[in-house]
Chain A
Amino acid sequence: MSTASLGSYYRTIITVAVVLLATAFLFSSLRVDAWVGLKPFFEWMGTTWFGVIGTTWGAVFAVVQAFHLLAMALMGGAIIVSDGRLLGLGFSEMDEREVLDKSHTIFSRSLAVVLLTGIFMACGVAMKIYYLEVYWYKMLALSVGILFTYGIKKPLLAKSLDDISPLVRRAVALSSLVVWFSVAGAGRWIGFSG
């Protein structure tokens, strides 16, 4: 493969580089150093207005959590619809482009609600989640999910859908389902911890 053709695969090269760097970070002492360094930030989170409200009024925390879970359910629905359509498991009577575009709009809006309510909830239980291993797995899965959805899946599906190979369609749909259900699963795990 010549240098010129290697340059044509810049997106693949960036993807592989990000994966290698992230893997090196996760399996090195840098990860522990970063965790220790983040402790003052989490202590500060607990002292913010969000943290004080979340710890003082349990009802407020519960209402925000309800919106967090409702938005997660909406997100899950949008993912099942779009990835189910890509896998050929349903909604075949509807136009594929319309299904993908509309479900992505719903996904993006519900993700915004999930992030906003999630920040509030994190402030309310800052030191609990700081010491919970599963919280960091959830943040890792969430970061990967956002990068994958907006950096890989969205640009790929913006092209003509007929030009995408069936293998790539299935792989993207399956990994999208796996990563977002991992986020939801880890989130529920946090709810049942401590």
Chain B
Amino acid sequence: SDKKKVAMDDLQVSALAASATILIFSAIYWTVQIQSVREMLEMAY
């Protein structure tokens, strides 16, 4: 039914939105962390 299709769409759209948020924030966080470790290693060695 159309009603079920919309409900599925809602689940999938919310899953995509949440996934995109997680992937973007994780990429930023780990890039910053790796960069800070790289700077620490450069200062040490």
Chain B contacts with A in 1-45, Cβ cutoff 8 A: 6-23, 26, 29-30
The number of residue pairs between A and B whose CB atoms lie closer than 8 Å in the complex comes to 72
In the assembled complex, which residues on chain B have CB atoms less than 8 Å from the CB atom of A52?
A: none
* A178 CA / B8 CA spacing, docked (Å): 24
Is the Cβ of B11 less than 8 Å from the Cβ of A159?
yes
Is the Cβ of B10 less than 8 Å from the Cβ of A174?
no
Is the Cβ of B6 less than 8 Å from the Cβ of A8?
yes
* A14 CA / B15 CA spacing, docked (Å): 12
* A9 CA / B11 CA spacing, docked (Å): 8
Is the Cβ of A171 less than 8 Å from the Cβ of B8?
no
For B23, the closest partner residue in chain A by CB is A175
Interface of B is mostly: helix
Is the Cβ of A9 less than 8 Å from the Cβ of B10?
yes
For B3, the closest partner residue in chain A by CB is A8
* A29 CA / B8 CA spacing, docked (Å): 38
Is the Cβ of A175 less than 8 Å from the Cβ of B12?
no
Is the Cβ of A5 less than 8 Å from the Cβ of B18?
no
In the assembled complex, which residues on chain A have CB atoms less than 8 Å from the CB atom of B14?
A: 9, 11-12, 14-15, 152
* A144 CA / B25 CA spacing, docked (Å): 11
* A105 CA / B23 CA spacing, docked (Å): 25
Is the Cβ of B12 less than 8 Å from the Cβ of A164?
yes
In the assembled complex, which residues on chain B have CB atoms less than 8 Å from the CB atom of A19?
A: 17-18, 21
For B2, the closest partner residue in chain A by CB is A8
Is the Cβ of B12 less than 8 Å from the Cβ of A165?
yes
Given A8-B7, A15-B17, are A179 and B12 also a contact pair (CB < 8 Å)? no
In the assembled complex, which residues on chain B have CB atoms less than 8 Å from the CB atom of A5?
A: 6
In the assembled complex, which residues on chain A have CB atoms less than 8 Å from the CB atom of B26?
A: 175, 178-179, 182
In the assembled complex, which residues on chain B have CB atoms less than 8 Å from the CB atom of A167?
A: 16
